[in-house]
Amino acid sequence: MVLSYNEDRPQVRRLPRHIETAPRKFRKGPWIIGGLAVYAFTAYGFYLYSSLSRIDETSQILNVPEDVSDRYNNTAKEFDDQVNLTEQIMGIGLLRKSLTKRASGDVLEVSVGTGRNMKYYNFKKCKSITMVDQSEEMIEIAKQKFKDLHSRYRTYTFLTQSALDHITCPTSGGFDTIVQTMGLCSTPHPSELLTHLGVLANPSHGQILLLEHGRSYYDWLNRLLDKTAPAHADRHGCWWNRDIGKIVEESGLEVVKIKRYHLGTTWWVELKPKKRVEK
């Protein structure tokens, strides 16, 4: 209520009701975003601390071979339970979903593992899908997941083999989309693998979509990853300290986009074959 005066007597002038009673607006958006950012950073910090603290400090003296892919046969049955909480805390599932839903045409997924990306595919956009992994135990789990999730989809193939070996596309011209998530850490020849994926992709419009983990932006974190890498690889079949940027550069593929998360240790990479120069 506001009082206004004239020369004779005071008069009362009421403000419009929507102005008189409206509370001051509080902008929640920035606070919510800030809170989520703090939560994500704290959660990831806790994950790093707990993961690194579980690895024995004698890690660096272990005699671990470069090829640790055979570990996945031993961990296949417990693999999903082991990584579910970590991926939930880090938001890896959201990244998997965003990456996988972009697949279209004749699709190849290498290092398919236990099929953690299967629920994210838009099969209306996929003409066919070929799924490859070297671990027989993991492929069996992936097959069962596929039957449970996509029983009506018929144009699919499972292959138990190395992705470095030849893979035949159902139609001529090469795969339209190649997906790999968390696979460069487990192969002994990561650059060669990417180069080979470029050969398998359609040369005119093929896309190679990667979600990987590797070295960080920060030296202090890279030192921790290097120190604990042998024990982690021996236990989980994953060299988590690889330089993904260098691997991509050595592959000879054309970079479309690179984004990094979690202090730079999670890499979103989009590649395509380099155009061949006709002589």
**Where do the domains of the chain lie, and which CATH numbers do they carry?**
69-219+236-272 (3.40.50.150)
pTM of the model: 0.80
CA Rg, the chain, in Å?
Answer: 26
Residue-wise pLDDT for 8-62, tens only, equals 444 545 545 544 444 555 566 655 555 554 555 555 555 555 555 555 444 455 6
Please tell me the distance from the alpha carbon of residue 124 to that of residue 43, in angstroms, as a whole number.
Answer: 36
* Eight-state DSSP code of residue 10: E
> Do you know the residue count of the chain?
279
Please tell me the distance from the alpha carbon of residue 107 to that of residue 100, in angstroms, as a whole number.
Answer: 10
Higher pLDDT, 29 or 175: 175
